[in-house]
Amino acid sequence: MQALSSEERKQILLKIADALEANEKIIRIENEADVTAAQEAGYEKSLVARLALKPGKARKSLLEEIIHILTN
């Protein structure tokens, strides 16, 4: 990405953030399946807890927020 202009990098990052937001429901569904599989496989509770996506007060995920901050 270093070969790209600042504006090109910004547009790519914004598209990533938009895709994450648009696919939030399926990402959460798949994450729940991953958490269930990890629990059934006997992973330690602390590892399973780190795997689980937790809904926050803000609608956007931390990654989405970081991308939007970096592009502004």
| Strand, coil or helix: 5 | coil
Instruction: Give me the residues of the chain with pLDDT under 50, please.
Output: 57-58
Q: What is the domain partition of the chain in residue ranges?
A: 6-71
Q: Residue written as tokens 């729940």?
A: 32
In the chain, what is the greatest distance between 2 CA atoms, to the nearest angstrom?
Answer: 47
Return the pLDDT at 58.
Answer: 44
pLDDT of residue 38: 97
**Distance between CA atoms of 63 and 43, rounded to whole angstroms?**
25
